[in-house]
Amino acid sequence: MNVAQRGSGPWAGVRVLDLTGLSGAYGTRVWAALGADVICVEPPDGNPIRRMPPLAPGHEGLEASLWWAYFGASKRSVVLDPTNADDAEALVALIGSADVVLDDALPGTQESYPWLANSGQGGLGVAGIVERFPHLTWVSITPFGMTGPRRGWLSSNLIGWASCGLASTVGFPHGPPLAPAGEIGVLMHGASLHAVIGSMMSVRARNQAAAAGEPGLGQTIDLSLQEVGLWLSPETGVPLYLDDQVPRPRAGNRRPVTSPMGLYPASDGHVAIIAIQPAHWNAMAQWVHELTGNEGILDEIFVDIVVRREALEAVDAWVEELTTQFTKQELFVEGQRRRIPITPVNTVGDLRHDPHLEAVGWWRTESHPVLGDFTVPGSPFTTDGDWWAWQRAPMLGEHTDEVLGELT
């Protein structure tokens, strides 16, 4: 197990080995931020994330990716080539020094790693590794899991969205399904965050058993992108379908529960509005009446959300007549004054200069020997203690000698 004590967070003293690409990057970043010694094992040409655009303006090469600058933060980089016998042997020793290993290789590869033969350990895979190092928690993040008829299928973040059914819920009623969240690998990040939860619980259970004088054993954790998506999907998919077996049409940027509910145009973008409670609707109706002179909207019949759902197109049109006359911020401020839930649909530029995020000090400035100073998001939560570690992303192989020296 790990003997190197790095950081001061709640998981200081725990070593996590990251053998993944994007599917484990966010989770291992959380591990590192909370004090664990996270070591990214990279091939000689670097982790695939290092080649993901966008690149920092005016820079190129394996240190220029803004994705790596964010997801590599607070980790250490070790370059090993498992086709080399010495490097393969070092990798086995490094695995033995870890508490947790995250791996996103396909099941067939994980079951029989070729580099184990190069290290003199034979053709064993995960089963043989955890038998040799019983304290170890091994986390497999694969498209469809380590078992089942689709275990060997190739996949991607987009295929994960499609296979779990979530993609079928995104888009407009008469159009095709749309990829959620643009190009970002949200489902992969969700899977890696579940990997963090599972592996932290495994380490905790192991340590508790050891403290009680019992064998401190790790666990193997099997994460499937499809199954993580299914776990996330109930709000939009599974329970609705199981309720009456009737597939729901895609709702676009409105929700056909009632009106107003969804995204509405402002003069400079869009706002999100939800008016389900009678007080919300009465305030909205009064505002529309004051601005447009619409008398019909004040009819008490519209207080009933079912009636507003049946008259959805008309009510939406009345609401849009109001929203298009104001900016996002004006709608937000006046909505707050009238106690109506209205929120601007922020762009990245809006968020970077958001006065609330500025006031709470959420954005951080980091320095990098190649990229210089740049701004990054802060921590997803704060605590009374200073739990979060903030170090720049490592250069390729920056810590190889340091980490391998710790194994001797």
CA distances from 195 to 22, 133, 144, 239, 302 (A): 13, 20, 15, 25, 47
Whole-number Å distance between alpha carbons of 75 and 165: 34
Joined together, the tokens standing for residue 262 give 């969804």
Whole-number Å distance between alpha carbons of 144 and 163: 9
Q: Assign 395 a pLDDT band (cuts: 50, 70, 90).
A: very high
Joined together, the tokens standing for residue 73 give 């933060």
The CA-CA-CA angle for residues 128, 134, 139, to 5°, reads 75
What pLDDT is recorded for position 5? 42
| Radius of gyration in angstroms for the set of CA atoms belonging to the chain, rounded to a whole number | 26
CA distances from 245 to 171, 174, 177 (A): 21, 20, 20
Helical axes 278-292 vs 312-323, angle rounded to 10° = 60
Domains of the chain are 15-234+365-406 (3.40.50.10540), 261-352 (3.30.1540.10)
Whole-number Å distance between alpha carbons of 294 and 297: 6
Joined together, the tokens standing for residue 333 give 């401020």
Q: Assign 7 a pLDDT band (cuts: 50, 70, 90).
A: low
Average pLDDT, the chain: 89
CA atoms within 13 A on the CB side of 356: 4
What pLDDT is recorded for position 252? 82
CA distances from 368 to 24, 73, 313, 314, 352 (A): 23, 11, 53, 55, 20
Q: Which of 99-108, 146-155, 341-350 has the lowest mean pLDDT?
A: 146-155
- Give residue-wise pLDDT tens across range 72-100: 999 999 999 988 989 988 999 999 999 99
What pLDDT is recorded for position 1? 37
Whole-number Å distance between alpha carbons of 100 and 218: 8
- Give the pLDDT mean for 261-288: 96
Three-state DSSP at 238 gives helix
